[in-house]
Amino acid sequence: MELGPYLILGLLEGLVTAAVLSLMALGLSLVFGVMRVVNVAHGEFFMVGAVLAWIIANAVDSHPAVNFLAALLLAPPATALLAAIADRLVLKRVAYDPERTIVATIGLLYIIQQVTLMTYGPDARPVEAPFNHRLSIPFVEWTESGMALYWPWGLGTTSYKLAVIGAAVLLLGAIWLLMTRTRIGLVMRATQLDSEMARAFAIPVDRVYAAVFGLGAGLAALAGVLIVPIQQAHYLMGHDPLLLSFIVVIIGGLGSLPGTVVAALLIGISDGMISVFFTPTLAKIIATLGVAFVLIFRPQGLFGRKGL
Amino acid sequence: MTLLSTRGLSRNFGGLKAVDNVDFDLPAGQVRALIGPNGAGKTTFVGMLSGRIPASAGSVRFDGQDVTTMPAHRRIRAGMAYTFQITSVFSRLPVAENVALALRWRTGDDAVATDRQVAEALERVGIADRADQLAGDLSYGHQRLLEIAMGLSQQPRLLILDEPTQGLADSEIADFVALIRGLAGDMTILLIEHNINVVMQTADAITVLNFGSVLASGTPSEIRNNAAVQAAYLGTG
Amino acid sequence: MSVFFGSDLRKSWTLHIGVIMLLFALQFILPAYHHGNLARIMVLTCYAMGYNILFGYTGLLSLGHALFFASGMYGMSLTVQHLGWSAGPALLAGLVAGFAVALAIGLLALRTAGVAFMIVTLMFAQAGYLAALYFGEYTRGDEGFVIQQSFRQLAGINLADPTNRYFAALILFAICVFVSLRVVQAGFGRVLVAIRENEERTRMLGYDIHRHKLAAVVLSGTMSAAAGAAYGLLFGYAGATFASVQYSIFPLLWVLLGGAGTILGPFVGTLFMFYLIDLSSGLTTAYMLIAGFALVMLTLFAPQGLVGELRRRALRWLP
């Protein structure tokens, strides 16, 4: 493939990454925004979503679309429940102290990851997509008779990948509406702004926290379910997306939805593009150092109101 | 001689002028009280004197040098001592260690000198018997005294006290007044105070701040009879 | 009443010298397996002690100390492997590498605080790990490389021999304990504790906070690098795993378990955790589960750690 089509491919793949990443980063950002804690185990919720998707799909065992639908409907809430329990048992007991929460969630990370290793095992297993049509994408070339379309071999996407992008857009919109237009969203934002005052207004802050933590994990799990037909379910798959989510959330500004979306697009697409030119390792090095330097020199990120 | 002076000292927070163009002179050996209604800018002003808060404009001179851009810890070394409005001691460390930290940069590893000066400072404020207790276990009044001991032990040229009698019982306040009277003349003291009785009993001179500017400055009796000051505190008729 | 607690000082020196002598004596009685383990534990404890200076005493939680450990390890092993240096200069190279990296990280990361500091240190360490993979041509990445026995000689002594190795580890351990004790009991160490307890108050007592924190980072990083260099030399292997996130979490775990802000805590924690993982890896591949579980339990119920609790409840003079 020539450069032009290569870039288009990178862009398309990047959009899929961005879609999934934006959901996951949003979960992380919500948790920080409302609860002011960083959940290092966030990547493991993503992994749990993917693994549960495989388990459910295998258990249902009928048409791939039915399997997938079951996974999509059941895995995120189950993960959310797991997270809410973890919040009540652990996070609440350390009173959401930022440093102790980080240490505790590191512990949770290892527990979830290793239990998965012990039960699901070390193998990577696929889940079949509900629908999967290859779509070739045309590119322009100059011929003797002017510009013409041609279909480069290797330049294409699948209907499922496009659906993932669409689903992410819908979900982001839904979360935006939830946060800004519903009472639940109002309660969450009130708790974020001033938890003491919220308590004074009889808002059950502890329950809001459990719900938000669950919602964050649910979003991560949802991202995991969406990605699993493209990428297989493996017990270590949470590590890289966690790092990427961190990058997105910090660059976009913790607690800011528009910032998260813009940053996810940036990171997702550039991840796709950079991997065309550099090795993935170098791309990761650049991104990792990028996060560090943003935190050092511009802690509020692009859109965030407060730094960490 | 003037130990401390400011010219045009100001501090803005966004559009709000917390301290507005203050000129201030403090002669050595004087006990000066800084009073004013809540929100007058007293703590902000004193924050700029000690270096905790950077000035938006103006200058601060201490002991003959311009310290406007000097970081707080260097001003302390130059001879200022500062006690916090909300008591700030090392709760999990023993009382003796609290004071030792205050003077160790002068005595270094000389354990004997450190111990002696710690004992003296604690004697002076009257909590020597509590030397081995954890600072956090002390009553509020004793913690405030500990803070003053930490300030005194530095043998400062200027002692800045931010609302030192707040929360103290009457007997403790009386002890405090006696302590300040005992120090007057040897040490220059600047205290922010709301308790007018304490001010009248200890201050050689009073500066009144209101809305970030100096409303009046003078001897206690001058201030007591100043109509503008009365209006600021009590509201006009 | 003395703020230097004269008799306490004598007690603590007696205790620590006693522990070192005990370890010395054990070398003659222990069976080969535990003998080797203890040598490893002593070197890893030096890593934990380095971490403890920053975390336990200064109150700064770094999630990227593997970068310092690996700097020492690679500084030493790369000069041996690719430049043909002998053990002595190579160890020095490891130490210098650790010092330089710690200084750089300190200057950058100390511009942040709290959670941001934790993430920044994590990111720098991760970049370091990735760099070790990226330059796999020299480092052999995760697979690592073995350092030949012939190189592992210091002043004519063959360090591959278990007895010599144990003594070398013990000497390093003793040095680190000595340095830690001196730091902690001197004015510098007291200021670090004061910074941990109440930073603003410490500033307003006339102390340069930034300079103290930077010194703490550099001391901590250099000690961790010394452990890394020693580990590579004594056990003859260098690999990128030692730069990974896991090796940043380990010292946190060891110090928390043993007791942050105590001198012997890191040793107790490393010893305990080493054997706990050793035993459980015989049972399952998921032995890190123990680490995760331990972290959660410690954070919830025993943030003081084993030695810390001992100090709180009984032996107040324990440094």
Chains touching chain A through at least 3 C-beta pairs below 8 angstroms are C
In this predicted structure, what is the pLDDT of residue A179?
Answer: 82
Is C204 close to B119, i.e. CB distance below 8 A? Answer: no
Interface list for B 151-170 with C (CB within 8 A)? 154
Confidence (pLDDT) at C5:
53
Q: What is the pLDDT of residue B40?
A: 84
Flag if C200 and B73 touch (Cβ within 8 Å): no
* Mean pLDDT (whole number) for A8-25: 88
Report whether pLDDT(A186) > 60.
Answer: yes
C251 vs C127: CA distance, rounded Å: 19
Instruction: Give the per-residue pLDDT at C218.
Output: 98
Token pair belonging to B34: 């800084």
Query: What is the per-residue pLDDT across B184-235, written as a single tens digit (0 to 9) for each?
Result: 878 999 999 988 889 999 999 999 998 889 988 999 988 888 888 887 776 5
Cβ–Cβ under 8 Å, residues B130 and B138: yes
Contact A284, A244 (CB under 8 A): no
Per-residue pLDDT band at B13 (split at 50, 70, 90)? confident
Residue C201 CA to its chain's centroid (Å): 29
Q: What number is the average pLDDT over the span A289-301?
A: 83
pLDDT above 80: residue A293: yes
pLDDT value at residue C286: 81
How far apart, in whole angstroms, are the C-alpha atoms of residue C51 and residue C109? 16
For residue A157, pLDDT beyond 90: no
In this complex, the residue of A106, A243, A295 whose CB is nearest that of residue C120 is A295
Tokens encoding A246: 């961190």
Determine the average pLDDT of the residues in A104-131: 90
Contact between chain B and chain A (3 or more Cβ pairs less than 8 Å apart): no
Nearest to A48 by CA among A9, A104, A86: A86
Q: Residue C90 corresponds to which tokens in the numbers above?
A: 């190579």
Q: Does B102 contact C at CB distance below 8 Å?
A: yes
Q: CB-CB: which of C2, C202, C207 is closest to B111?
A: C2
pLDDT-wise least confident of A260-264, B166-170, B233-237: B233-237
- How many CB atoms are closer than 10 A to CB C138? 12
CA A223 to chain centroid, in Å, comes to: 5
* Residue in A158, A119, A115 with CA at minimum distance from that of residue A135: A158
Mean pLDDT of A72-95: 92
Higher pLDDT, A91 or C100: C100
Chain B environment of C197 (Cβ under 8 Å): 90-93
Q: Is the backbone of residue C225 left (phi > 0), alpha (psi -120 to 50) or beta?
A: alpha
Which residues from chain C sit within 8 angstroms of residue B49, using beta carbons? none
pLDDT over 50 (residue B102)? yes
Q: Higher pLDDT residue, A4 or A40?
A: A40
The pLDDT of C141-157, averaged and rounded, is 83
Write the CA distances from B145 to A263, B73, B84, B86, B181, integer angstroms.
53, 22, 12, 13, 15
Which residues are registered as beta bridge partners of B189?
A: B31, B159
What is the per-residue pLDDT for C6? 64
Q: Phi first, then psi: what are they for B194, rounded to 5°?
A: -100, -20
> Please, which pLDDT band fits residue B73 given cuts at 50, 70 and 90?
very high
Within 8 A of C203 by CB-CB distance, chain B residues are 72-73
Q: Tell which wins on pLDDT, A236 or A279.
A: A236
**H or E segment and range at residue A280:** helix A280-297
What is the per-residue pLDDT for A307?
A: 41
Instruction: For residues A180 and A186, give the distance between their C-alpha atoms in angstroms, rounded to a whole number.
Output: 7
The Cα-based distances of C113 to A41, A303, C102 in angstroms read 21, 20, 17
On chain C, the residues whose CB falls within 8 A of the CB of B88 are 198, 200-201
Residues B90, C206: C-beta atoms closer than 8 Å? no
Q: Is A85 on the interface with C (CB under 8 A)?
A: no
Task: Report which residue type is found at A215.
Answer: L
B110 touches chain C (CB under 8 A): no
A 10 A CB-CB count for C224 gives: 31
* DSSP H helices in C32-143: 32-52, 66-83, 87-109, 114-134, 136-139
In angstroms, rounded to a whole number, what is the distance separating the alpha carbons of residues B88 and C200? 9
Q: What average pLDDT does range A265-292 have in this prediction?
A: 80
In Å, how far are A22, A214, A243, A282, C37 from A10, measured between CA atoms? 17, 33, 20, 17, 50
Q: Which carries the bigger pLDDT value, residue A26 or residue A187?
A: A26
Please tell me the pTM assigned to this model.
Answer: 0.88
Mean pLDDT of A31-48: 90
**Whether residue C220 has pLDDT greater than 90:** yes
Q: Which H helix or E strand runs over A272?
A: helix A257-277
Nearest CB neighbour to A98, from listed C114, C131, C297? C114
- Does B236 have pLDDT greater than 50? no
The answer to whether residue B105 neighbours chain C at the CB level (below 8 Å) is yes
pLDDT band of residue C1 (cuts 50, 70, 90) is very low
Residues of C with CB under 8 A from a CB of B: 1-4, 186-187, 190-191, 193-194, 197-198, 200-209
> Which value does ipTM take for this structure?
0.91
Highest-scoring range by mean pLDDT, A131-145, B215-229, C191-205: C191-205
Is B134 part of the contact surface with chain C (CB cutoff 8 Å)? no
CB pairs under 8 A between B and C: 75
Nearby residues of C138 by Cβ (< 8 Å), 6 or more positions away: C78, C82
Instruction: Classify the C-alpha dihedral A185-A190-A192-A195 as positive or negative.
Output: negative
Tell me if the domain spanning C2-313 has CATH number 1.10.3470: yes
Nearest to C38 by CA among C235, C282, C253: C235
Work out the minimum CA distance from A1 to partner chain C, whole angstroms.
26
Tell me the pLDDT tens digit for each residue of C51-78.
999 999 999 999 999 999 999 999 999 9
DSSP strand pairing (A139-143 vs A146-150)? antiparallel
Percent of chain B with pLDDT over 70: 98
Q: Which residues pair with A157 in a beta bridge?
A: A135
Task: Give CA C256 to chain center in angstroms.
Answer: 13
